[in-house]
Structures are given as C-alpha cells and as structure tokens.
Copies of this chain bind each other. A is one copy, B any other.
Amino acid sequence: MNRIVTLTTDFGLKDNFVGVVKGVILQKNPEAKIVDITHEISPQSILEAAFVINSAYSFFPSGTLHVVICDPGVGTRRRIIIVSTKKYLFLAPDNGVLSLVIKKEPPQKIINVSNHKFFLTPISSTFHGRDIFAPVAGYLSRGGKLTELGEVIANIKMLPLPQSEYKKNVIKTPVVYIDKFGNIITALSQKDWQEKVKKKNFQLHFEKKKLEISLKRAYADGEQGEIIALFGSSGFLELAINHGNAAQRLQVKTGTLLKIIPGS
C-alpha cells in the first residue's frame, strides 16, 4: 500500500517549510508520492483552506491522504485529527478546516492524534507541520494503522459557513473566494440557482454599485471587459471578466456581501 499524500498549507514557497515537511514524510516512507494542492492559503485563513480542499479532494484517486495544515493554534491544546471516509483520509488540525469536506464525505472514523511515538523529538511549539503532521503522514502513506496513532473520538470542530440568504426576490450571498485570475466565487450553488431562481440575468448590488449582469457559459462568452456571471468549475456562481480581473474592478474582497436581484 502506498497512498498518495496531498499537501494544502499556508506555508508559502519562499521558506523551506514545505521542503522540510516532504523530507520528513520521505524519511518515514521513501516511496511516498507527494502532490502539492497549494501552499498559498492566506496566512491562518481556516475558511479559505476549507474551501480550497473541498473543491480539490475528490479529484484524487481513492485512498489518497489529504493533509491540510492551516493551523493558527499550533503549539496550543487544539487537537490534530485524522478523519477517514469511504474513499479518503484527511489529516488536519481540529479547527474547522474540514467543515466543508465533512458535509460531503461522512466520517467513518475520527482519531485524535496523540501517540508521541510517531512524532519527531523534540517537538517544537511552532512547526507541527514538520514535527507531527509529516511523520504521521509518512506512516499513514505506507498503510499505517489509524488506531495506532491515537484514540477514536466522536466529533470534530465545525465552523459556521458562509451561507446565501433567500428572501422574496432578493438573494444575499457572501464572496467566498477570489482566484488568481480575479474571478469572484460566491456561496450560491448551481443546484440552488436551478431549483430556486432559474433566471438568465440579474441585478448585482453592493455598496453603491448597481450592475446588470447576464449568465454565460464560458469566460470567453463575455465581451472583452464585460462583467459576466457563470457557474464555475467548483459549482458556485462566479463573477468574472473576459481577459480581466473582476475582483480588482469591482473592489470586492472575501467576505463582501453581494445583493442579487434575479431578472428575466
């Protein structure tokens, strides 16, 4: 058995943090196959990490171990957990970073990682990625037994998640994520739109702006510079500009609340 190991962190690529984590995984399993999902989660942004792993995990082979390290509580008493689901393993701090995943992948077993035998010694209080997550990931990747790592627990911490609010003809939805092209991803799912809204265009309100927007299929369906909406690859309503940066143009940030008035 040799599970693929993915890494999703806020470590960035400037320092040697990611390399060191991989070194320790390879010490425990020289055959480990490690894939970066991203290391550019905004520092300590648990919600962003939750969104990023949620829209990525299911594209990996069955058996993959997903390691998510966005851990502002490093060195404190927050737990480190393993969640096993039908197809995957997740290793993460118990700070809510798996809140979105858990809704789609019911946990079969949750382990509180506590067996120091599997950790590096001494354990620093600032870099558990290296001292705990990496050796545990290395052990799991070569088929190590979950129950060796700690005791079974019943629950994990859940975060309040950004929700859309439907009232008569008005939908309020927060900006959940902005990708590197400046596409603005909201909390409004394609499924909800098809069930509750079913329109082809809408008015977008926020701050003092008011814009007429029509739903398209592809980025290139917009005129150059036109603000369009579409349901993107993660299944949520996105605002985008063909050959442009919508977030910069609209001055929108993660968390901004958008008001949508469905049209014709």
**A37 contacts the other chain (Cβ, under 8 Å)?**
yes
**Assembly CA distance A131 to B59 (angstroms):** 10
**A35 contacts the other chain (Cβ, under 8 Å)?**
yes
How far is the CB of A237 from the nearest CB of chain B, in Å? 12
The interface residues of chain B lying within 8 Å CB-to-CB of A127 are 232-233
Other-chain residue from B18, B23, B126 in contact with A61 (beta carbon distance below 8 A): B23
The interface residues of chain B lying within 8 Å CB-to-CB of A6 are 19, 23
**A130 contacts the other chain (Cβ, under 8 Å)?**
yes
Interface hits, A189-221 → B, CB 8 Å: 217-221
**A30 contacts the other chain (Cβ, under 8 Å)?**
yes
Contact present for B30 and A61 (CB under 8 Å): yes
The interface residues of chain B lying within 8 Å CB-to-CB of A158 are none
**Assembly CA distance A36 to B220 (angstroms):** 26
Contact present for B218 and A76 (CB under 8 Å): yes
The interface residues of chain B lying within 8 Å CB-to-CB of A181 are 43
Which candidate, A7-15, A110-118, A139-147, A256-264, is the interface stretch facing chain B? A7-15
Other-chain residue from B17, B27, B76 in contact with A60 (beta carbon distance below 8 A): B27
Contact present for A217 and B16 (CB under 8 Å): no
Interface hits, A171-193 → B, CB 8 Å: 179-181
Which candidate, A67-75, A96-104, A160-168, is the interface stretch facing chain B? A67-75
The interface residues of chain B lying within 8 Å CB-to-CB of A14 are 38, 40, 179-180
Other-chain residue from B17, B64, B75 in contact with A217 (beta carbon distance below 8 A): B75
Contact present for B59 and A23 (CB under 8 Å): yes
Residue of B nearest to A2 (CB): B30
User: A126 with B22: in contact, given A14-B38, A56-B16, A218-B75 (CB under 8 Å)?
Assistant: no
Apart from A4-B30, A19-B37, list 8 A-B contacts with CB within 8 A. A15-B180, A17-B179, A18-B36, A74-B219, A75-B217, A125-B217, A127-B232, A130-B233
Q: Which 4 A-B pairs have the closest CB atoms?
A: A75-B218, A19-B37, A127-B233, A12-B180
Q: Could you list 8 A-B pairs, sorted by A, with CB under 8 Å?
A: A4-B30, A30-B61, A44-B243, A74-B218, A75-B220, A124-B232, A125-B218, A127-B232
